[in-house]
Amino acid sequence: MLLSAGRRRGALIVLAAIVCPLARAAEHVTLKNGFELDCARREMRGDHMRLYFTSADSTNRGAAEGSGANYMDVAADAVVRVEIIPDPPVVADVMPAHREPAKQHAAAASVLTREEMHTMLANAGGEHNIDADLLASVVKAESGGQVRAVSRVGAQGLMQLMPKTAGELGVEDAFQPEENIAGGTAYLDQLLTRYNNNVALALAAYNAGPAAVDRYHGVPPYRETRAYVARVIREFNRRKRMAGSGQQVAQAK
């Protein structure tokens, strides 16, 4: 049996703190004084921390401060929050050559409204007892909500199903949103069951495959996979915070 929405939410918030520091992507750092910057890496140097700017931020900081330095030294306890800056999902607006013209046209014309997306995710989540906000977070990380998204390796649709996986899940047309979401949700359900409802491991397996997770007995040390897990968890937590704020406003009226 899968985790309830409340328990999964708690697990995700805890996992965010565990997974984010391990990723090796660029990071957005917030200091105690409210100052924020993007850095390529951090390193401890005695009693302070050196933050190395990304190339873009380095130019901006140097111009602003009249210095060519590409780093900033701060007290070790000055950093209050670090967030990974993941690479955006790859979306290619292409269609497989073997698809029939009629299906190509249908997929090209398929654009989901926010309400349609929510309904499909809620239905799929209800069937598999998976929080719709978690599914929405996966969709955002996988395809950015692009119905016709195709990755460099051939993953297709909203939840980026590989053709072989889609076939095993009974998905006949990965570019039909409802089919894709149903298949992706069923697959995530299988992974959650396989990893005893460990959300981080299920997400890692969704991205890198179960074999990689089993080989490393945890989230694989792949930059893309660790950034992906952190991205989904962060988006899930953001959605829950927004939902909580909305409820508080409604109760105050």
Active-site residue identified among 65, 115, 142, 178: 142
Within 13 Å of residue 65, how many CA atoms lie on the same side as its CB? 12
First to last CA, the chain: 38
Distance, in Å, from the CA atom of 97 to the CA atom of 111, rounded to the nearest integer, reads: 21
Would residue 65 show up in a list of annotated catalytic residues for this protein?
A: no
The answer to whether the CB of 93 falls within 8 A of the CB of 148 is: yes
The answer to whether the CB of 143 falls within 8 A of the CB of 159 is: yes
Strand segments, DSSP code E, in the chain are 26-31, 36-45, 48-53, 71-75, 79-85
Residues annotated as catalytic are 142
